[in-house]
Structure 1
Amino acid sequence: MQELRRQRYLAALGIDSYMPLMQFDVAPLPVLCELPQATVEGSTSFNETAIVDGGLDDAVADFPLSATTLEQTAQTIDRVFKSLVETPPAREIKDSSAALTPEKVIPITRPAVTFSLSMWYSHDDWLVIDSRKPQAALPTAALLNNIIQALWQKPLRTGVEEVWHWPFAENTFSHQTEEDAKDALSVWIEVAHEKHAVNKLLVMGEVAWRYTNVSTGTYEESLWQHYELTGGVTAWVVPSLVELLEDPNHKKKLWQRLRVSSHE
């Protein structure tokens, strides 16, 4: 017990090891000095702060030590030593791998879409792109023929309608998102511009407007407006043929708009 206390005492003072002085054979035996009794108990007590701060040597030089003082000193050193070497309670270790692992950036892609467009090389350098609605079963081709003949005194070319389906049946393994549809239609229009010298687009209906990507606003904001595209192509956004048949009030405005554009 005394040895353990001595080790704690030395550790608290910052002394790694202590070896007593060697006593030579011819040297006289050490004599234990008698310490005078302390008159006032409070005057011989050590200040705990002085001990912790390393002022033990000064305190020993100023005050004589008694058995009670030594016991109090040992208790103080023991308490300080325990506070230094006691292991704090184990904390729950949480898995931080999720916090350290950077989040994967997943590109935002809209789901695959299915639609179809009707396209006519109506006359000269015009290309009509209409939003198809086959389930309506309305005479859209006849209406377009009347519009073309009234404006340009030329009938609509027979057998020139092309139906553009998305997604492509031959590319079932490729990406078929909304952005892919815009890219594919843009390439198709560029080819038509080079092959048939198309310089004017009549974009009819919301579906055709969305995938031709002629403007960044809403469909309502883009309606009845014209936009300059790359390659010197001009696009006019108007209601679809089905919308014209369902709401005849649009025909008057379409007539006025196309009469102006036909002479530009």
Structure 2
Amino acid sequence: MNEQRRMQYLDAMGIDMFVPRFVLAGAALSSQCELPVAKQAAAPAVAKGVASVLDGIGDDIGGAIGGSVGSTAAANEPAQERTSRAPLGLVSEPEKSKPQKSASSTVSSILADLQAKTVVKPSAKFFLQLWRVHADLLVVDSRKPGQALPTDTLLTNILKACGQLPQSLPRAEKLQWPMVDDATKDHSWTAAQEMVQSFLEGRLLSNPVKHILLFGDDAIRAVLGGDAEQPKAPQQCFHRPADAFACEAYCMPSLGEILLQPLLKRPVWHLLLEAFPSQP
């Protein structure tokens, strides 16, 4: 095969061609590679046969494509005719066509199975303050770390207006999630709810309350559990029973949100009148 035809074949197969133009100064001399077939006795005959076969191929790609189509048609003919023409001793059982999956489809199916089995739990992060105001009332507020707002003063005024604070506001208990000494890696809302509810059960099991005031999304979700969340509109307040503690829960925006948005005081006041109807 001459050099021009070889270049045409390489170009048709999509192989990048490289032709040296000059020898660099100081470079080692090129040596001709010895073909493995040259060591065999029939190497010249084999090389001559390969050359004749290559020369017999058509000058254009259409001839090669026609040959491949012919071979495909021969592969699709009935197995009985192929076995009848096979040499003696090489006759095998009729071949059964088996669909084969490509590597990309196999990898895609494996990744889909892994994604279906992997459940990503959203992590929780909050800071709560709790006040046991009196025997029948517990208050839980959602706080943001570093937020310097007079929320204690606001809560004192709210409770006094409702007639639920005969004396000064008691000292608050604090709950933080994730916990500082928590060695586990599960920081999901499920684990956070279990921690908060276990904490409240220890406080309320022997000394239950009738009302729980929940201020803020984090307090609502952590105490009530499940998917309980404050409605999207912050002006909306709602009431629902807290079955886990056998009491009534009243859900409102956080004290910090009320300070930043004074218009929230009106719906909060209406909900508090529903919780304590005997008060003016």
Q: TM-score range by the shorter chain?
A: 0.5 to 0.7
Which of 240, 243, 247 is matched with 2:254 structurally? Answer: 240
Q: State the distance in 1 between where 2:101 and 2:270 align.
A: 75
Which of 126, 132, 135 is matched with 1:121 structurally? Answer: 132
Which amino acid is 1:234 matched to? E
Which residue of structure 2 lines up, in the alignment, with residue 28 of structure 1? none
Which residue of structure 2 lines up, in the alignment, with residue 166 of structure 1? 177
Deviation, 1:224, is 1.4
Which of 232, 235, 240 is matched with 1:227 structurally? Answer: 240
Q: What TM-score comes out, normalization by structure 1 length?
A: 0.58
Contact 1:145/1:156 (CA < 8 Å) preserved in 2?
no
**1:120 match: secondary structure:** strand
1:80-229 equivalent positions in 2, closer than 5 A: 81-82=84-85, 85=91, 103=113, 106-152=117-163, 154-155=165-166, 157-173=168-184, 175-213=186-224, 216=227, 218-220=229-231, 223-229=236-242
Which of 249, 253, 260 is matched with 2:263 structurally? Answer: 249
Deviation, 1:199, is 2.7
Contact 2:142/2:216 (CA < 8 Å) preserved in 1?
yes
Deviation, 1:221, is 6.1
Q: What TM-score comes out, normalization by structure 2 length?
A: 0.55
Which amino acid is 1:205 matched to? G
Q: State the distance in 2 between where 1:78 and 1:215 align.
A: 69
Which amino acid is 2:183 matched to? T
Which amino acid is 1:85 matched to? V
How many pairs does the alignment contain? 188
Contact 2:221/2:228 (CA < 8 Å) preserved in 1?
no
Contact 2:220/2:228 (CA < 8 Å) preserved in 1?
no
Q: State the distance in 2 between where 1:143 and 1:211 align.
A: 23
Q: State the distance in 1 between where 2:164 and 2:192 align.
A: 35
CA displacement 1:145-182 (0-9 Å, x = unmatched): 01111111625644420111111222223522221001
Contact 1:204/1:241 (CA < 8 Å) preserved in 2?
yes
Q: State the distance in 2 between where 1:213 and 1:236 align.
A: 11
Sequence identity percentage: 26
Larger Rg, first or second structure (1 or 2): 1
Q: State the distance in 2 between where 1:78 and 1:176 align.
A: 68
| Structure 2, unaligned runs of 5 or more | 1-79
Q: Judging changes above 3 Å, is the alpha-carbon distance between structure 1 residues 156 and 165 closer, same or farther for their aligned structure 2 residues?
A: farther
Which amino acid is 1:240 matched to? S
Contact 2:133/2:170 (CA < 8 Å) preserved in 1?
no
Deviation, 1:107, is 4.6
Deviation, 1:239, is 0.9
**2:205 match: secondary structure:** helix
Q: State the distance in 1 between where 2:157 and 2:271 align.
A: 16
Q: State the distance in 2 between where 1:108 and 1:78 align.
A: 55
**2:171 match: secondary structure:** coil
Contact 2:240/2:250 (CA < 8 Å) preserved in 1?
yes
